[in-house]
Amino acid sequence: MSEFNIIKSKGTLDFNKKKIKGIMVSEEAKTYFQDAKGNVVCEFTYGELKELKNVRHGGMSSTISVVLKDETAFSATLIDGLKVYNNIDKFWLNKPVMAYSRAEELRRLAELRGEKVQKVKKHLIKRRHPNRSIGGDIGIYILLACVAFLMAFPLIFAIGSALKPLDELFRFPPTVLPEHPTLDNFSDLIVTMGQSWVPFSRYLTNTVFITFFGTFGHLIVASMAAFVLAKYDFPGGRFFFNVVVTALMFSGYVTGIPNYVIMSKLNMIDTYWALLLPAFAAPIGLFMMKQFMEGLPTALIEAAHIDGAGEFRIFWNIVMPNVKPAWLTVIIFSVQSLWNNSAATVIYSEAKKTLVYALQQIQAGGIARTGQAAAVTVVVMAVPILIFILSQSQILETMASSGIKD
């Protein structure tokens, strides 16, 4: 075969949810990917292809996405991806598809040499680390189970307390789970809230309004500022980011008085803006978005500029979808902060107070409301935990790879 019919390109293969750095080689009859040690990771031809795409990043760099007829899908981000793609398209042959690991390749070569190959015993339990003993695996699982129990214990105890009748709440030593579970604490909480001269729905509406718009504004402001700081150089940019990092050291208790003074000068005390504007300017969102956006390839933005895309379109259609894990995390932090904010220092009108404030007043009602106080604890922590459960899979899955790298 002529050397002109072989194309090699360095890059990263995303195969079976694993990223492998190496070289992709495209020949007339096959294409395969080698890792840094020269081991063949996968080999395939293109007669069984269902879909083949090439996304150009700028210059010769691009990502080749492959979907086979057996629904196997993988992608390779290559420096000379365009050359490899053209070579694949040129030598399109109908050959069977074969993807295998290093062990399978060594076994295949041994069979070709006529050597006797010992079959690997299949275990009932698949182990990720064969160099570790079964006893080590059991010890690690026991340790993880103990840590998981310790972290879940406060949540279990809070829910159990909310379901206990009053006689069990005052029992000593206290029990974790109720012997006679009941929903009386929650029904009494609803009755107490209904006796307030401000309807319960009003407290809930105030909290939802502040949480939603505060989170949305915080996400937009932090994302736009982070995009400029991460991808553009301008005078004072580094100093501004250092100010943001310094602001992370101060808790809300330290900034409470300056925040009240500023809101008072702006005549925003006893308005929703006293909570929304500080939420928009929270430094944690800007810091996280900026750090994550730095991992985006600059070539992707430059290619969009060449195609005629404007700054806002690049930000909204290219940058934001690629930093989804970052802004999901920002949403969790923002919702947790705003939902649990009683706003007692800046909101005076009872009709504008939040749900948490009203529930805290019930908690302070004395011994007779101990059961309702336990129910309040569950209600307050339910929303942040629910939001985290719904979004944690996407956050943890992509945070491990820290975004796209050049």
HEC readout, 64-75 = EEEEECCCCEEE
Pick from 2-6, 73-77, 103-107: least confident: 2-6
pLDDT band at residue 202 using 50, 70 and 90 as cut-offs: confident
Judge whether 117 lies within some domain: no
Inter-CA distances, 303 with 58, 136, 233, 310, 401, Å: 5, 50, 18, 12, 23
pLDDT score, position 117: 64
Helix (H) / strand (E) element for 116: namely: none
Pick from 184-193, 263-272, 348-357, 359-368: least confident: 359-368
How many other β-carbons are positioned within 10 Å of the β-carbon of residue 327? 22
Q: Which among 50, 9, 7 has a CA at the least distance from the CA of 26?
A: 7
Mean pLDDT rounded to a whole number for the chain: 80
Helix (H) / strand (E) element for 52: namely: strand 49-58
Report residue 365: phi and psi, to 5°: -80, 0
Domain boundary, last residue among 136, 162, 182 = 182
CATH at 361: 1.10.3720.10
Half-sphere exposure of residue 334, counting CA atoms within 13 Å on the CB side?
33
Query: 16 with 33, same domain?
Result: yes
Cα–Cα dist 126/335, whole Å:
39
Which residues have CB under 8 Å from 23's CB, separation 6+?
Answer: 8, 9, 10, 11, 33, 34
Q: Contact, 47 vs 66, CB < 8 A?
A: no
pLDDT score, position 223: 92
pLDDT score, position 1: 40
**Long-range pairs of 27-32 with CB within 8 A, sequence gap ≥ 24:** 27/1, 27/91, 28/1, 28/91, 28/93, 29/91, 29/93, 29/95, 30/95, 31/84, 31/88
- What average pLDDT score do residues 183-198 get? 79
- What average pLDDT score do residues 32-51 get? 79
Which residues have CB under 8 Å from 67's CB, separation 6+?
Answer: 49, 50, 51, 52, 73
Cα–Cα dist 217/297, whole Å:
26
Query: 290 with 369, same domain?
Result: yes
Which of 29-38, 142-151, 286-295, 318-327 reaches the highest mean pLDDT?
142-151
pLDDT score, position 224: 92
pLDDT greater than 70 at residue 141: yes
Query: 175 with 191, same domain?
Result: no
Pick from 150-154, 200-204, 221-225: least confident: 200-204
Judge whether 55 lies within some domain: yes
Distance between alpha carbon 307 and the CA centroid of its chain, in Å?
Answer: 30
pLDDT score, position 95: 45
pLDDT score, position 108: 67
pLDDT score, position 143: 94
Q: Which amino acid is at 273?
A: W
Domain boundary, last residue among 85, 112, 139 = 112
Percent of the chain with pLDDT over 90: 8
Judge whether 91 lies within some domain: yes
Is pLDDT larger for residue 5 or for residue 155? 155
pLDDT greater than 80 at residue 247: yes
Each residue of 316-363: pLDDT tens digit? 888 888 888 888 888 888 888 888 888 878 888 888 888 888 877 777
Query: 314 with 391, same domain?
Result: yes
pLDDT score, position 329: 84
Each residue of 203-227: pLDDT tens digit? 888 888 999 999 999 999 999 999 9
Query: 216 with 270, same domain?
Result: yes
pLDDT score, position 130: 56
- What average pLDDT score do residues 359-378 get? 77
Any idea what DSSP says for residue 126? -
pLDDT greater than 70 at residue 180: yes
Query: 156 with 46, same domain?
Result: no
- What average pLDDT score do residues 31-41 get? 84
Query: 332 with 228, same domain?
Result: yes
pLDDT score, position 142: 93
Judge whether 278 lies within some domain: yes
pLDDT score, position 393: 67
Q: Which amino acid is at 241?
A: F
Which residues have CB under 8 Å from 400's CB, separation 6+?
Answer: none
Q: Contact, 69 vs 44, CB < 8 A?
A: no
Query: 171 with 223, same domain?
Result: no
Inter-CA distances, 123 with 53, 102, 126, 127, Å: 38, 19, 6, 9
Query: 189 with 159, same domain?
Result: no
Q: Contact, 387 vs 332, CB < 8 A?
A: yes
Query: 190 with 270, same domain?
Result: yes
Q: Contact, 46 vs 93, CB < 8 A?
A: yes
Judge whether 404 lies within some domain: no
Half-sphere exposure of residue 29, counting CA atoms within 13 Å on the CB side?
5
Cα–Cα dist 21/261, whole Å:
55
Cα–Cα dist 275/210, whole Å:
7
Pick from 84-88, 165-169, 305-309, 362-366: least confident: 362-366
Q: Contact, 12 vs 21, CB < 8 A?
A: yes
State the sign of the Cα–Cα–Cα–Cα dihedral 389, 391, 395, 396. Answer: positive
pLDDT band at residue 125 using 50, 70 and 90 as cut-offs: low
Judge whether 217 lies within some domain: yes
- What average pLDDT score do residues 222-235 get? 89
Each residue of 384-402: pLDDT tens digit? 788 777 777 666 654 554 4
| DSSP-derived pairing of the beta strands 7-15 and 40-44 | unpaired
Percent of the chain with pLDDT over 70: 85
pLDDT greater than 70 at residue 100: no
Is pLDDT larger for residue 191 or for residue 277? 277
Q: Which amino acid is at 335?
A: V
Q: Contact, 164 vs 379, CB < 8 A?
A: no
Range of the domain at 232: 184-399
pLDDT score, position 399: 52
Residue 42, beta-bridge partner list = 33
Query: 143 with 249, same domain?
Result: no
Domain boundary, last residue among 139, 164, 182 = 182
Paired tokens of 178? 């109720």
Cα–Cα dist 241/286, whole Å:
9
Judge whether 118 lies within some domain: no
Cα–Cα dist 395/392, whole Å:
5
The number of domains in the chain is 3
pLDDT greater than 80 at residue 5: no
CATH at 57: 2.30.29.30
Judge whether 133 lies within some domain: yes
Query: 71 with 146, same domain?
Result: no
